[in-house]
Amino acid sequence: MSTKTRYFVAISGAILAIGLGTGLVASYMGFPVSVFSTAAGPDELQYVPADAAVVAYANIREVMNSDLRQRFKDIGPTTDQKNEFEEKTGLDFEEDIDSVVLAVTGSVANQPQKSFLVLGKGRYDAARLEALAIEHGAQATDYQGKRLLTHLENDGDDVAVGFVEADLVAFGNLAMVKASIDARRENRNIVSNNDMMKLVNELDNSNAWAVGRFDAIAQQANLPSEVQAYMPQITWFSAAGHINGGVSGQFKAEAKDEQSAQNLRDVLGGFLAMARMQAANKPALQQLADSMILSGDGKTVALSFSIPTEVLDVLESLAKGRQGVVQQ
Amino acid sequence: MTTGARMSFTTAARRVFDLSLGEMLWSRRTIFMALVVAGPVLLALIARGVEVFGMSALRVNGRPVPGFSIFGVMIWSLYLFFIVPVLGLFYGTALMADEVEDKTITYLFTRPVARGAVLVGKYLAYLACTILVVLPSVMIVYFMLVPFSQLPSTFGNLVIDLGLLALGLAVYGALFAFVGAFFKRPLLIGLVYTFGFQQTVLALPGSLKQFTVAFYMNALVPHVMPSDGVSSLLQSMFKENPPLWVCLFWLFAILAGFLYLATRVVERKEYILEQ
């Protein structure tokens, strides 16, 4: 073997060895998401307890300003209804709320009413809200330096609103609101949950998304037992959408093993092929069917879609037609 | 001291391997291989460059496609569909044909080595040469496209990809080594088999697809098959997934069977050099 051949073999071998070595170290040491990038997702995630099973986020500001919202604006609540709410609370949803984070803990199956936490970011008149709440029988207390408004229920499921930051309100069961304040204070929140943050980190350019453990939502979906038995064993899921002129999104699931994922991909692939054939004569549906793209590798299955303008036109005319009938 | 004693098969194959590896690496055919393999690296470089400027390299339905999905598409469309079969075809069919064409086969066959060992040595040199070029290019493409934060979750699939590509090079190489040793127009036959027969039967229902290498290879790929055209849509519809052990058994059987047949042909065939 000549010297230049030896050099070539050494360089090729080195590239392979360095690549495999780096990958092995990353796999076994488990690089946290934050090693190579800043923490993904909104800042409000620091108020979500680390054991949350599902986390969802919506950028209300972007959705409200979207072209899609402008199209369907007339179909929303009437101005009179909105004014009444605004007068009492001083809160205009369209103008004052920027984003909402919803978290669901693992105990959702046993105690659904105690498992939800909503974090709303926006501009609030805290004094006005507190006065209104006390007027309706709520109690105002302090917890870890944060103002809490608690409405005591007979069954012990106290509902609370916590003003956790100047522009952030936590709403949910009293225990959940307190857990939210503790999560931020003790720095034991969802940001330190690598499994969840890996999913959040993969989301990009979405103004509405949800990630979490699939079993947490499957139990709540009340699916027939026959369907549940045939469902592949999905562990994690993420759903992300972008709303502007239209709606586009992606649903991604992680199965327990590669065989389950492969089976799910095969079933979805067959379904998509069938849908494309069925939609061949309907231009609007054909565009929707063509936009659905199946992808994924290993244990993941992903399905992306885009709702075309033609479909939105049909929905808009249907909604306006229905509204016209109601008004008559 | 050189004697006329016949070398053992393995020693002879190793000597031929040493000799052939350098020849193959620095031949004109390697320039072709380098160009073919540089294609995906160049595409990955462009994708990386685009992302550096804050844009997405590929968007589907207005949403950016993750780097590992782009990598999966490249493994399917560029490496498994094109690069691996083409390299197997061009190198495999030329293992003996080059010696015949250059009229140097006489020098090899007059040595005190088994003729089969010549083919095996050359086959191993082909395998080392292609693996040393293809796999590092896959590694570079992977690290360019996949963010570091996704390394732990995707590295297992990269290892499967590397193993699968190496196995593909070995199987196609053995198959086309036999074609090159047995048939008169091996390149044409190989092209018809790879891009005609294989692609057609994979897009049809039935059991004929079991006579293709791609059938067993495709079942092992850890990425979803891209469905961007009629042919690939049909292939994904009629795609079957035999169990792992079935795929590995048949791939190794094809490899061993055709390599054995190729050595038998070389040992028995009488090569007549054109004057």
User: CB distance B60–A304 less than 8 Å?
Assistant: yes
Residues in chain A: 328
- Strands in A168-173's sheet, in edge-to-edge order, are A139-143, A146-151, A159-165, A168-173, A116-122, A97-105, A52-58, A208-213, A234-243, A247-255, A300-307, A293-295
A10 and chain B in contact, CB less than 8 A: no
Local structure of residue A230 (DSSP, 8 states): H
Q: What angle do CA B49, B54, B60 make, to 5 degrees?
A: 90
Residue of B nearest to A306 (CA): B61
> What total number of domains does chain B contain?
1
Residue B274 maps to a domain: no
Give the start-to-end residue ranges of the domains of chain A. 33-192
A294 and chain B in contact, CB less than 8 A: yes
User: CB distance B22–A5 less than 8 Å?
Assistant: yes
Residue B264 maps to a domain: yes
B55 and chain A in contact, CB less than 8 A: no
Q: How high is the ipTM of this complex?
A: 0.81
What are the C-alpha distances in Å from A219 to residues A215, A225, A230?
6, 11, 15
Residue B274 distance to chain A (closest CA, Å) = 31
User: CB distance B222–A258 less than 8 Å?
Assistant: yes
Query: In chain B, what residues touch A22 (CB-CB under 8 Å)?
Result: 143, 151
The answer to whether B229 and B88 have CB atoms below 8 angstroms apart is no
Structure tokens at B93: 């069919």
**Least CB–CB distance from B149: residue in A22, A201, A269:** A201
Residue from A216, A218, A171 nearest A196 by CA? A216
Q: Which domain holds residue B112?
A: 11-268
User: Going by C-beta distance under 8 Å and a sequence separation of 6 or more, which residues neighbour residue B104?
Assistant: none
Q: Which residues pair with A105 in a beta bridge?
A: A52
Query: In chain B, what residues touch A290 (CB-CB under 8 Å)?
Result: none
User: Going by C-beta distance under 8 Å and a sequence separation of 6 or more, which residues neighbour residue B227?
Assistant: A269, A293, A294, B233, B236
Residue B76 distance to chain A (closest CA, Å) = 12
Interface of B with A in 134-153 (CB under 8 A): 135-136, 139-140, 142-143, 147-153
B154 and chain A in contact, CB less than 8 A: yes
Structure tokens at B230: 């009629």
In which residue are the tokens 């005609």 written?
A: B196
User: Is the pTM for the entire model greater than 0.90?
Assistant: no
Residue B22 distance to chain A (closest CA, Å) = 6
Per-residue model confidence (pLDDT) at position A40: 64
Give CA–CA dist B275/B266, Å, rounded: 21
Query: In chain B, what residues touch A265 (CB-CB under 8 Å)?
Result: 224
Query: In chain A, what residues touch B136 (CB-CB under 8 Å)?
Result: 12, 15-16, 19
Residue A238 distance to chain B (closest CA, Å) = 14
Per-residue model confidence (pLDDT) at position B2: 46
User: CB distance A265–B157 less than 8 Å?
Assistant: no
B243 and chain A in contact, CB less than 8 A: no
Structure tokens at A177: 């609101």
Residue A74 distance to chain B (closest CA, Å) = 27
Q: Which residues pair with A252 in a beta bridge?
A: A238, A302
Per-residue model confidence (pLDDT) at position A34: 46
The answer to whether A58 and A99 have CB atoms below 8 angstroms apart is yes
User: CB distance B26–A13 less than 8 Å?
Assistant: no
Give CA–CA dist A255/A214, Å, rounded: 10
User: CB distance B147–A36 less than 8 Å?
Assistant: yes
User: CB distance B151–A27 less than 8 Å?
Assistant: yes
Give CA–CA dist B176/B190, Å, rounded: 7
Query: How would DSSP label each residue in chain B?
Result: ---SPPPPHHHHHHHHHHHHHHHHHTSHHHHHHHHHHHHHHHHHHHHHHHHHTT--S-EETTEEPPHHHHHHHHIIIIIIIIIHHHHHHHHHHHHHHHHHHTT-HHHHHTSSS-HHHHHHHHHHHHHHHHHHHHHHHHHHHHHHHS-GGGHHHHHHHHHHHHHHHHHHHHHHHHHHHHHHHH-SSHHHHHHIIIIIIHHHHHTSSSSGGGGSHHHHHHHH-SBPPP--SHHHHHHHHS-----HHHHHHHHHHHHHHHHHHHHHHHHH-------
**Least CB–CB distance from A9: residue in B132, B135, B142:** B132
Query: In chain B, what residues touch A4 (CB-CB under 8 Å)?
Result: 26
Per-residue model confidence (pLDDT) at position B233: 59
Give CA–CA dist A122/A105, Å, rounded: 24
Give CA–CA dist A246/A67, Å, rounded: 8
Per-residue model confidence (pLDDT) at position B261: 93
User: CB distance A273–B135 less than 8 Å?
Assistant: no
Give CA–CA dist B238/A205, Å, rounded: 35
Amino acid identity for residue B117 in this structure:
A
Residue from A135, A115, A133 nearest A124 by CA? A133
Q: In a 3-state reduction of DSSP, which class is residue A249?
A: strand
Give the β-pairing of B59-60 and A208-213.
Answer: unpaired
Give CA–CA dist A9/B135, Å, rounded: 12
B76 and chain A in contact, CB less than 8 A: no
A63 by Cβ neighbours in 10 Å (0-12 / 13-18 / 19+) ranks as: middle
Residue from B256, B263, B268, B271 nearest B13 by CA? B263
In which residue are the tokens 């042909």 written?
A: B265
Structure tokens at A110: 């046993």
pLDDT in tens, chain A (328 residues): 778 888 888 998 999 999 999 888 877 765 554 444 445 678 888 888 888 888 999 988 888 887 777 776 666 555 666 666 676 666 777 778 888 999 988 655 556 666 788 999 888 888 888 888 888 888 888 888 888 888 877 666 788 888 888 888 998 888 888 889 988 887 778 877 777 877 887 776 678 888 888 776 666 666 556 556 556 578 888 888 887 777 788 888 888 887 788 877 887 787 788 777 777 777 667 777 777 888 777 788 888 887 766 677 776 776 666 666 555 5
Structure tokens at A269: 């692939």
- Counting as low any pLDDT under 50, the low residues of chain B are 1-3
Query: In chain A, what residues touch B147 (CB-CB under 8 Å)?
Result: 36-37
